[in-house]
Amino acid sequence: MRRRVESARVARLASIRPDGSPHVVPIVFALERDRLYSAVDEKPKTTPALQRLRNVALEPRVEILVDHYEEDWARLWWVRLRGRAFVKHEGPDAARGWDLLAAKYPQYQDTSPQALMVVDIDSWRGWSGGVG
């Protein structure tokens, strides 16, 4: 599972809105041991006060789904990570996360994050269609 998650380029982050409803967004991420980092970057957004950041400030429990699809269903797989998220703007956690993201995604090498979401992973669950 770890190898698959580490090599994946995109995931989906599910957080909980203040009204209790789910909020799911695609994210790019970097993984180190049982910690996942995802940046709030300079891509165009309606506001830098993103819903996902407001959600984890009130309810830190999140899930991240990483998956792979092919027409050959024997090659399907998914991994679901469950954990607690927090937001960092600076400090060692933010610096380490940003270094990992810049190493994985060249787009981040010449830019700075507005914030970093850090997820401490409590559990890993996965499934595979059988091949690979």
Please give the distance of CA 94 from its chain centroid, rounded to a whole number: 14
pTM, two decimals, is 0.90
* Total domains in the fold of the chain: 1
The enclosing domain of 6 has a CATH number of: 2.30.110.10
Asked if the model's pLDDT at residue 92 lies above 60, the reply is yes
For residue range 98-114, what is the model confidence (pLDDT) as tens digits? 999 999 999 898 887 77
Confidence of residue 130 (pLDDT cuts 50, 70, 90): confident
What domain range includes position 108? Answer: 2-128
For residue range 45-91, what is the model confidence (pLDDT) as tens digits? 555 578 999 999 999 999 999 999 999 999 999 999 999 999 998 89
